[in-house]
């Protein structure tokens, strides 16, 4: 029966595992067990769900604007994203913007200065 199943496509919208794991010590609630949502993937879809839209990602991140009409999928306003810098054993520093929904505990995130660079578990 298992031969009838095809490959499963997994779409992971979380930062690298070392960052997720480190969030336990930063006070985030159950970061290994909650939904992660990259803000640059979430905001463009807000208009489709009737939550507003048209907000610039960088306006959101840099000015800490939190419009009441843009909400998490659970209905509460999106959290303000704070800056966190992670220093890896390799000596590399990476900055992330992170915030957690007060109701459903989804963690919203975006890369900071190193946009587009991937981190491996070895770092």
Task: Judge contact between 99 and 107, C-beta under 8 A.
Answer: yes
Confidence at residue 60, expressed as pLDDT on a 0 to 100 scale: 55
Confidence at residue 50, expressed as pLDDT on a 0 to 100 scale: 39
What DSSP designation does 77 have? B
Confidence at residue 93, expressed as pLDDT on a 0 to 100 scale: 92
Confidence at residue 26, expressed as pLDDT on a 0 to 100 scale: 95
Provide the CA 88 distance to its chain's centre, in angstroms: 19
- Which pairing describes strands 107-111 and 82-87: parallel, antiparallel, or unpaired? unpaired
The structure's pTM equals 0.72
Confidence at residue 115, expressed as pLDDT on a 0 to 100 scale: 40
What residues in the chain have per-residue pLDDT under 50?
47-54, 114-123
Domains of the chain: which residue ranges?
Answer: 14-111
Q: Where are the beta strands (DSSP E) in the chain?
A: 36-38, 82-87, 93-100, 107-111
């Amino acid at each position: 029966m298992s031969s009838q199943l095809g490959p499963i496509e997994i779409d992971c919208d979380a930062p690298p595992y070392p960052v997720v794991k480190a969030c336990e010590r930063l006070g985030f609630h159950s970061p290994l067990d909650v939904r992660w949502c990259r803000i640059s993937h979430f905001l463009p879809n807000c208009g489709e769900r009737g939550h507003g839209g048209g907000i610039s990602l960088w306006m959101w991140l840099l000015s800490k604007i939190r419009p009441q009409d843009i909400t998490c999928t659970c209905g509460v306003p999106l959290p303000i994203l704070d800056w966190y810098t992670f220093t890896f054993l390799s000596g590399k520093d990476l900055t992330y913007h992170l915030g957690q929904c007060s109701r459903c505990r989804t963690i919203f995130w975006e890369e900071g200065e190193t946009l587009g660079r991937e981190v491996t578990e070895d770092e």
